[in-house]
Amino acid sequence: MVEYNYRIYPVVLITFLKIAVGFTLELAIPLYYIGIGMNPIYIGLITSASWIVYLFSPLALSKYYLRIGIKRCLLISVSGSFFILFMIQFTLEPLIVFFLFIGEGLFAGFFWPVLITNISIVTARDNVCEDDSQQDKLTRSYNLAWNIGAIFSYLTGTILLLFISDITVIFRLSFIYAIGLVFFAFFIEDPKPEKNDAKTMVAKKKLIEKCDQEKVSFPKYLPYLIIFLNGFLIGALILLYPLKANQLNFVYYSTFLFNFFRMIGQTLTIYKTIGFSIKRLSKLVLISLIVLPLSFLGYGLNINIIIFGILFIIFGIFVSIMYSISFNMVVYQNIIEYTAKYSSFFETSSGLGFFLAPIITGIIAGINVDIAFFFLGIITTFFLIFFFIIRKKISSEKTLVSDNLNRDNIFLE
């Protein structure tokens, strides 16, 4: 058995802390500005500020990732984020926060794509598939840390706001997370160069020949459309629910509490489905695209706080299936083409969804927040129709990994 000797815990910890920072801020920002009576359109612009740059930073910086080194890229990113969080402790002036978040979008371009690239490299070199428990270890650990970081941040925010009504305490909390993020980034390892001596290659070839892998065909653009919709729906919900909760005079901490429920459903679903075949996931995506429009209808019509909690759980379960299939597709593309570019495409597509969601739904919510929820249901229904038409282009078969080592035998459309 090949020893899975890459040091995983720094990847897990910085993923956890980066998500804790980001998810704490993404709810604190709209809650704070709603509390001071700001127009939803302007709140949408502030919450989308980091995504304005993040649309371009992963692609613009992608050629520097391996040149600079994965560890250095991550240190640059977390140091920049630390400075931004430090500044926010002293001012929440909307224009200043807007430009600080633009800076965060630039530094994020050196974080998430680099981390996914790192996972792809380690997976390609160390996942020789003889042991299934080793095969998905890094991918599962990364996704579990990602989701637990969100759960932890939402739960902590709920508890704090249960006893302290001042939303600015959440910004102090995010700064504490940022300190830990910088600390653990120093323990990240760059993937070691792959050995090419004869003894290693023979041993690896013998293991590879024992190993089955899914051989997949799907339109190259598909994972990016799916992750775009995923980002758009989540980004819209993060803005729209606080607005509706404010109209209904719900308790202040319900935004953090219900997003905690959402992330519980999302975490369990992603952890379960991330190892599914792409073909199987495509069937589950179809079910998700049927359930989600109905949930948005419920968000628009409902006024009962308990039902909102149930709707958040349903949303978390079914939106996460879209993440699982798109993530698996992107890692698959990276591995078989020995490239990092698909990580950048993935993050840019996700960023586009998060960028457009608060702007578009903020404008609609300025008219009526319920109409904004109905709008989400309509666009999800259109995507359901589109996915139903093109899903026949998704096919897979079990094959030996050794058959895929021929670069001319790439099975993507």
Q: How far apart are CA 118 and CA 201, in angstroms?
A: 22
pLDDT at site 203: 44
Q: How far apart are CA 147 and CA 154, in angstroms?
A: 11
pLDDT at site 214: 59
Q: How far apart are CA 318 and CA 290, in angstroms?
A: 10
Q: Kindly report, residue by residue over 103-115, the tens digit of the pLDDT.
A: 998 888 888 878 8
In Å, how far from its chain's centre is CA 5?
Answer: 26
pLDDT at site 336: 72
C-alpha to C-alpha distances, 151 to 124, 132, 154, 296, 335, nearest whole angstrom: 30, 27, 5, 22, 30
Residue 299, token pair as written in the block: 């968000």
Q: Which residues of the chain, if any, have pLDDT below 70?
A: 1-5, 66, 120, 123-137, 192-214, 337-340, 395-413
Residue 13, token pair as written in the block: 């910890």
How would you class 247 by CB atoms within 10 Å of its CB: exposed for 0-12, middle for 13-18, buried for 19 or more? exposed
pLDDT at site 5: 66
Residue 362, token pair as written in the block: 């903020």
- What domains lie within the chain, and their CATH numbers? 9-190+210-409 (1.20.1250.20)
> What is this structure's pTM?
0.78
pLDDT at site 270: 84
C-alpha to C-alpha distances, 405 to 117, 150, 215, 278, 335, nearest whole angstrom: 19, 37, 12, 20, 10
